[in-house]
Amino acid sequence: GHVVETAYSQLVQSGRIPPISIVKERFCYKLQQADCLGAIACVRDLAGYSVAFSKKVWLELFKNNSQRFQRETLVRLVDSLVTEGDQAHQALESSCRELISSNVTIDSVVDVPI
């Protein structure tokens, strides 16, 4: 976590756009720490990328990192997204809602078809 934060900060301070892999890792780290607002801030950083984050991409990210955070964290993330009212993150919100409503545990996200 600390290495990612340091690399991210140094890249931003030098005027460079962090690689998407660092932004994704930072997002997962924030969720792992149950820092939903920090995770949302990371998502805002993704706005600089031309690659759209589809629901499928978010589900895959959650699948690949399922051991890092709990279902309750996704519930709080959705609540935070709704509170902020930011429509730019519909795919993220939709993927979280799908995981929550499917009644799967985060540990079994690997079984959710993408």
SS (H, E, C) 44-98: HHHHHCCCCCCHHHHHHHHHHCHHHCCHHHHHHHHHHHHHHCCHHHHHHHHHHHH
CA distance 95 to 101: 10
pLDDT digits (tens, 9 = 90+) for 76-103: 999 999 887 766 788 899 999 998 888 6
- pLDDT score of 8 more than 70: yes
The whole-angstrom separation of Cα 106 and Cα 75 is 11
Confidence of residue 105 (pLDDT cuts 50, 70, 90): low
Span 12-49, pLDDT tens digits: 899 988 888 898 999 999 999 999 999 998 888 676 66
Per-domain residue ranges for the chain?
2-111
Tokens of 6: 């340091």
